[in-house]
Structures are given as structure tokens and as C-alpha cells.
Amino acid sequence: MGLLDDLKERIVIADGAMGTLLYAHGIDRCFEELNVTKPEEIVHIHEAYIDAGAEVIQTNTYGANYVKLARYGLQDDVKKINEAAVELAKRAAKGRAYVLGTIGGLRSTNKSTISLEEVKRTFREQLYVLLNEGVDGLLLETYYDFEELQTVLSIARKETTLPIIAHVTLHDIGVLQHGMPLAEALTELERLGADVVGLNCHLGPYHMLRSLEEVPIPTRAFLSVYPNASLPQYRDGRFIYETSEQYFEETARAFREQGVRLIGGCCGTTPKHIAAIARALSDRTPVYKKEVRQRHTIIVQEEKQTTAPSLADIARTRRSIIVELDPPKKLGLTTFLEGAKALKEANIDALTLADNSLATPRISNVAVGTIVKQQLGMRPLIHITCRDRNLIGLQSHLMGLYTLGMTDVLALTGDPSKVGDFPGATSVYDLSSFDLISLIRQFNEGLSYSGKPLGQKTNFSIAAAFNPNVRHLDKAVKRLEKKIECGAHYFLTQPLYSEKQIEDVYEATKHLPTPIYIGIMPLTSARNADFLHHEVPGITLSDDIRNRMAMCANDRVQSTKEGLAIAKALIDAAFDLFQGIYLITPFLRYDMTVELVRYIHEKERLAKERTVYYG
């Protein structure tokens, strides 16, 4: 008889949390390392769960992979730690319980932090050790990213015929983090070869029960559930779970009615919780049929219809000019609003507003954008960085922008805090720019990151950044293609200072369907040129340009003229290749950008006259 044979006949009880008990004992470091340094502690916990009624235990290997062990300098000990974990679990089990080799997920909210290739390599290394040590099955748990779980499950299924349990982890009731219904996800896992499918972590019994109400009993696989004890409280610097064992005893019966065959516990659960489950399900009798609650269809309203074309559409049909004018670093908007008004009169399509560029605090671009929109009737293009807001803050920020009617956004990773005025400040980076673009696209589909309906579809027009100032332009173009896949509608480049480079960018990107606004920022002085070249990431100036600015280093008026002349030559180079021009205003010198806007419009007028004349 094996685990699957038992599951065919009855409900099987699994163990609870390993980390919770170690944490309660004052251990707050790499739990997996204890397989080697404190083996008796691990054996004792395994035995406590078996004594409580667990018939299945999992190895202490949730984070025993190269990526997670590297955080503690233990990346070279993957084999040793996993081997020890299996040996300890077997020693504790003594034939009284099945031993599952546990492999945890790597990705969370920021998918870009680890590629699928790295996931595969890391997974295989741990998988082969666990299989070689003779585990009774595999437990794939705490996978927020469904793509990752699909990938590793497919690998595991090809490598072994042992039972495989595949668990997704939900942010919200009944849906995965990108909106896939739980029932659909579990069906797919069953199709990929999982023998047991279900849920673990993040949610407690109440929310997991509600999620399972919409899940039919699988045709081949079995259902499993490992709920958290509750939502944790943060008290005296420690996380505390306070759900009573009696509550677990009550909900265990409810899980049986939902068709669950394997039930254990996750964060916050202890041997007392497992004992309560065992008492509640003492006869272990499963159910073979259930009434599936139909998933409630939520009607998502379509986005507000706007008459104005998007900036991407404008750049496809005619010459388009957008101008960046940074919000001030100090309080007071008089000069800024004077510049914005002058740019409006010069006839630009949008005013772009940076989000604390170079990690330097400025007046909120949302506040400034609201004023520009309401008082001047201009179109604000709001930059959003991943640096300053966590996933919660980013979603709230997007909802606020949409509510204010500001739907033109530029998604950026953002300069790290260490380059700015406060190098000790924390850079958040829950998401990368790729993830943020995907999140905004999901908002346009009416879904939050967790997959929960927003009630309305937004209509954000998504700009993304493009830095051509790199050694290998082809690699930068690959990033553009990836951003297009994520949902980018058009691109704004870093400032370019080479006519040849503009031509190279055109040749490298002409196959893309997505408009590109070429960034041009006039130089104001030789010092400004040297600073940009040597100290600002992503900007490179030619020796010729720096020498031209150096020739007028002590003459402000001549420096301005030379900076404008260089910028106009760059505009000439871009004019017939790109419909979009992105002018970046230096130091609130809006007089310079106004002149460049007028120069572009005059070139456009002359070009049209020539077309009519020769046409």
C-alpha cells in the first residue's frame, strides 16, 4: 500500500508548520540549516506531529534550494542539507508516516527577479537529491506564480512516478494572482500529472473553504488543503498566530464535505492543530460527491470612453511632441506653472511629470498633474516608479490616478535610493517595470494583482522606457519586445546625443509596431554636459559635443545657444525617422524647450508645404 492507495479509501492527515515551532523556540535564521546543525530539534518536531496523528510528514526543505540558501551563504550546501532532511524525517517516521520531499516556490510578486531558466536549474538540483534519498513522494508548495508551478511540475512528472502533490497559494478567495479561477488551475495541474492538487499558506480555513466551494472533486487526482492557522498578529517584534485548535476541529469537518482527502496545516499550525483535525476526522471517511457552488460572475463595467486619441495613436498618425517638466524640489509652483503655460501655448501634446527622478524628492507629480489638468487644461503623463511604493501602494496609486482622470502613465523601475539625496532610504521594488506594465494592463482588464475584480476596467495608456545608451543595442531591443508582450503601448527613450545613434535606433526598432518617442534634452553648460556623461546612468555624450560645450564654458548665453544648436541637429536627425519627439526640460529652463517645440512645428509646416508644392 502506498499514499495514493490510502487516499483512494480514506482521508489522510498531514503535518503542520515546521518553521512556526522553530520560530516559537527563538530560532530566527535559516531553518533548513538546522537539518545539519540541530538535527535532534528537527526530529523532535517531526515526532510531535506524528504523535498528534499525522500520517504524512514533509522534509524540512521548503527553502533548501540554491537561491534561498544563498541568502545565508549556504548555496554550496544544497545536497548536504537536503540529504540530512530526508534522513531526519525517515528517522522520525520509522514507518509510521509517509515522508514527502518538500520544494517551495521561488517567485512571489516580482517575477522578473528570477527567470524560468534559473527556476528550472534550481529546482532540478533539489529534486534530484530528494529523489535519490528515497522520499515517498513530492510536495510542491506555496506557489503564487502559476507559470512557475506548471514548469516545475512538468519537470518532476518526467523524472518520477512517485506521488506528486501540487499546491497553489492564493492572494484572494477563489482566484490566482492574475485572475485564473482556482478550479481551472487545479484542473490544469491534474492534467500535467499531479496526483494531489490543492492549497496551502496565506489564507486561513475560512477563506480556503470558500475557495474550495467552487472546485469540483477531481476525476483522477485528490484534493488537499494546508491552511494557515489564521491571519498573524505582530506583537513585540514577533508574528503571533492565535487561532484555537477547536476552530480547526470544526473546519476539518467542513473540508471533508468539500471533498478534501489530504489535510494538514501551514503557517501558525502546531501539533495541537493537527491533533484537533485527527479528532474531527477520526473515522477518516471521505465524501465522493459534492455540490459545487457556481462561481459568481462579476460584471465589470467597461472603461470610460474618451474622445481624445492616445499618445501612441497620435504618434502613429502625425508628429507628436511631449515635454518633461520636473515638479519642483521646493514648495511653490509659480515658475513651474509659467513654464507649463508657455509649453501649452507652444502646442505640445502632453506634459510628462517625473516621479522623484534620480531618487530626489519633489512635489508629488500626481498633485502637480491634477493642477495642470484642471487649471491649464493640459494632458499630464504621470511617471510611476516601483522604487517608492510596495504592491499595495502601487495599486492604490493606480486607482487614485484613474479616479482623477489621469490615464497616461509611464511605468519605470526607478533609480535606486542610493543615487539620490537620501542614500539610506529604502528602495522597495516589489515589482520591476515589466511587472508594473503587466499590472497596469491587468487593471485595464478590470482585475487587481490578486485577480480580484476592480468593478471597472481602467483605460490606462501605458508608456515604457527605452535606454538605447548601451553597448549592445540588440539586447535593449529584446527588452522592448518583452515590454510589448507585457502590455506597453509606446516608448520614451533616454536622451540621445548622437545623430548616428538615432539612425541606429531606427534600424534596430523599425520592425516594431509600437511608436517610439525619441528623447532629446538640450545641454545648458559644459558642467551640465560633463555631469550627464560621467555621472548619470544611461546617458553618453560624444567627445565632439562635450568639446563644443567646453568652448563656451564661461558664457551662459553662448552655452544656451550651443545647447539648442546641438538639440536642433538631433531633432533634424530624428525628424524623418520618428513621429514622436520627447523633449526633456533641464533645470526648469522651459524657454529652451519652448524654442525646440517651435522649431519642430516650423519644420513640420515647411515639410507639409514642400509636400503640397511637389505633390
CB atoms within 10 A of CB 113: 15
Cβ neighbours for 193, distance < 8 A, ≥ 6 positions apart: 153, 154, 157, 164
CB 3 within 8 A of CB 163: yes
Determine contact, residues 171/144, Cβ cutoff 8 Å: yes
CA-wise closest residue to 360 among 425, 436, 408: 425
- How many other CB atoms sit within 10 Å of the CB of residue 184? 14
Closest by CA to 466, choosing from 487, 496, 438, 439, is: 496
Task: State the DSSP H helix or E strand holding residue 247, giving kind and residue range, or none if neither.
Answer: helix 245-257
d(CA 502, CA 573): 7
Return the half-sphere exposure (C-beta side, CA atoms, 13 A cut-off) of residue 156: 31
Known binding-site residues equal 201, 266-267
Residue 310 grid cell: 492616445
CB 434 within 8 A of CB 374: no
Who contacts 326 (Cβ-Cβ below 8 Å, separation ≥6)?
Answer: 353, 354, 357, 362, 585, 588
The CA angle 260-160-158, to the nearest 5 degrees, is: 100
Q: Which backbone phi and psi does 111 adopt, to 5 degrees?
A: -65, -25
- Which positions make up the binding site for Zn(2+)? 201, 266-267
- How do 238-240 and 233-235 pair as beta strands? antiparallel
Nearest alpha carbon to residue 274 among 98, 91, 89, 45:
45
Residue with cell 543595442: 473
Written as nine digits, the cell of 159 is 523524472
The CA-atom distances, in angstroms, between 53 and each of 44, 91, 100, 460 are 15, 17, 16, 53
Q: Residue 518: what are its φ and ψ, rounded to 5°?
A: -80, 125
- Report the half-sphere exposure of 29 (CA within 13 A, side-chain side): 9
